[in-house]
Amino acid sequence: MQFETISVIGLGYIGLPTAAVFASRKKKVIGVDVNQHAVDTINQGKIHIIEPDLDMVVQTAVSQGYLRATSTPEPADAFLIAVPTPFKDGHQPDLRYIEAASKAIAPVLKKGDLVILESTSPVGATEQMADWLAEVRPDLTFPQTHGEQSDIRVAHCPERVLPGHVLRELVQNDRVIGGLSPKCSSAAVELYKTFVLGECIVTNARTAEMCKLTENSFRDVNIAFANELSMICDKQGINVWDLIRLANRHPRVNILQPGPGVGGHCIAVDPWFIVSAVPDDAKLIRTAREVNDLKPHWIINKVKEAIAAWKANSEFKIQNSKLPNIGCLGLAFKANIDDLRESPAMEIVRELIKSGICRVMACEPNVNSGFDEFPLYELGEVLREADILLLLVDHDEFKGIDRELLKEKVLIDTRGVWR
Ligand code: SAJ
């Protein structure tokens, strides 16, 4: 099977790097996105997200004519769907973007095409996607009804790359490939072998879907353990980061790091896809989600306590009309990226602003323009003016702060950076 033209639907944090890597292997790539700004930016050889080295790869791919973006799907030999899968009320998976993407590509499908769902999805979503495609194209046959003889091949191949390391992990990580039939899987393996150096391991679609959800739930449960420890240690007067470092000296213990909560569009979301499918059985997975979701509120309470203590000090009594300045360092959901999705730091800052008990000075060095929800401040200004410093994200800029500048401040370090 030859894949001359590849179409990637959804040019976000996963779709754009994937499109660019295919293009760097001299495949003709058509990127499709409903966001006209993203389409225009990419066609100028630029990028609308922050990911190390991606700008260079996209620039080369576009200038050499291998990558082009459009808002309307065009015919191709393989289609990769990499659109968001959020949850809706009651933590139920919301497949509306997969539905819209399937219905958008269905009209341009032709016999022999391969359609791959890359978006993290609840079990059964790939079969559902194949049904949506079949609904629009009764003239073509699909694997759910025609098995190995089908005109169209369909597979799930979940993305597993770590934001901040996407280009390296795309090439090096193993891929789990779950076709709706063995032929679908082999076609998908052949496609990914264009650039994947890791192993392409074949299974069925439902196992591939559950595999991705399992990986992220495993991490969520382990972070919840660290977050729970941090709250226990606070009550016991123990430094949790020292404790974890010591416990991790045991050969079979490897505890993750506590923080202000779990953010991002993956780990804070995907475990719910398991819980919503089997609510009575997924007890530990649900509790872990609840522990991690509780953590931002626990931090807000810590800030409120710090404000109360600050107000009680003598300086405040002299100028008691002044609200304390709270320097909130970092808004992204983790270090050295610009992604604010499901960020616990954003939740904490919003809540502090709403409380009216302090003047919030938020600083996010990775967000330069287009952010207008509340004012952002330069790091220098925050360090000069803040009475209380709340470290929310362990960005390199904050790790490197001269400790002398912190001496006069009340510090709340949610990441254990200034220890
Ligand atoms: N976090 C902690 N403590 C830790 C590690 C992480 O509080 O010790 C927090 C981070 O600050 C962040 C959140 O957890 O708020 C998630 O960060 P992350 O680095 O663990 O993961 P993501 O969301 O950037 O990427 C994950 C990865 N999954 C796993 O490592 C199992 C990635 O491989 C997936 O491709 C990605 O989800 C995804 O797209 O699903």
**Do 153 and 266 fall within a single domain?**
no
Round to whole Å and give the CA distance between 213 and 91.
14
Task: Tell me the two tokens of residue 246.
Answer: 């010591």
Burial class of 34 by CB neighbour count within 10 A (0 to 12, 13 to 18, 19+):
middle
**Do 95 and 51 fall within a single domain?**
yes
Query: What is the spatial order of strands in the sheet that 114-117 belongs to?
Result: 67-70, 28-32, 5-9, 78-81, 114-117, 153-156, 175-179, 200-204
**Do 251 and 395 fall within a single domain?**
yes
- 289-298 tens-digit pLDDT: 999 999 999 9
In a domain, 224, yes or no: no
Atom of ligand 1 nearest to the CA of 267: 23
Atom of ligand 1 nearest to the CA of 257: 8
- Please tell me the distance between residue 415's alpha carbon and the centre of ligand 1 in angstroms: 14
In a domain, 231, yes or no: no
- 365-405 tens-digit pLDDT: 999 778 999 999 999 999 999 999 999 999 999 999 999 99
Round to whole Å and give the CA distance between 241 and 348.
21
Percent of the chain with pLDDT over 70: 98
**Do 283 and 389 fall within a single domain?**
yes
- Please tell me the distance between residue 75's alpha carbon and the centre of ligand 1 in angstroms: 35
Residue 416 and residue 335 in contact, taking contact as beta carbons nearer than 8 Å: no
Round to whole Å and give the CA distance between 84 and 56.
25
Round to whole Å and give the CA distance between 280 and 90.
15
* DSSP state, residue 404: G
Show the domain range for 80.
Answer: 5-205
Residue 219 Cβ < 6 Å to ligand 1 = yes
**Do 132 and 183 fall within a single domain?**
yes
CATH number at residue 20: 3.40.50.720
**Do 248 and 102 fall within a single domain?**
no
What phi and psi, each to the nearest 5 degrees, are found at residue 116? -115, 130
**Do 157 and 26 fall within a single domain?**
yes
In a domain, 152, yes or no: yes
State the pLDDT at residue 316.
56
Mutate to test the pocket of ligand 1, among 213, 223, 391 (most ligand atoms within 8 A of CB): 223
State the pLDDT at residue 318.
55
Residue 70, Ramachandran bin (φ over 0: left; ψ between -120 and 50: alpha; else beta): beta
Residue 212 annotated in active site: yes
In a domain, 326, yes or no: yes
Q: Which of 205, 224, 250 is the last residue of a domain?
A: 205
In a domain, 402, yes or no: yes
Residue 174 and residue 198 in contact, taking contact as beta carbons nearer than 8 Å: yes
State the pLDDT at residue 373.
95
Residue 216 Cβ < 6 Å to ligand 1 = yes
**Do 383 and 292 fall within a single domain?**
yes
Taking CA atoms only, the protein residue closest to ligand 1 atom 27 is 162
In a domain, 50, yes or no: yes
In a domain, 212, yes or no: no
The alpha carbon torsion through 270, 275, 281, 287 (nearest 10 deg) reads 80
For residue 335, give the nearest of 405, 257, 402 by alpha carbon. Answer: 257
What is the reported pTM?
Answer: 0.94
Round to whole Å and give the CA distance between 98 and 96.
5
Which residues in the chain come in under a pLDDT of 70?
1, 314-321
**Do 250 and 201 fall within a single domain?**
no
Residue 358 annotated in active site: no
State the pLDDT at residue 369.
75
**Do 161 and 277 fall within a single domain?**
no
**Do 392 and 304 fall within a single domain?**
yes
Taking CA atoms only, the protein residue closest to ligand 1 atom 14 is 262
**Do 270 and 377 fall within a single domain?**
yes
Please name the amino acid found at residue 252. R
Residue 143 Cβ < 6 Å to ligand 1 = no
- 207-261 tens-digit pLDDT: 999 999 999 999 999 999 999 999 999 999 999 999 999 999 999 999 999 999 9
State the pLDDT at residue 419.
79
Q: Which of 159, 178, 205 is the last residue of a domain?
A: 205
In a domain, 88, yes or no: yes
Our count of domains for the chain comes to: 2
Residue 166 and residue 19 in contact, taking contact as beta carbons nearer than 8 Å: no
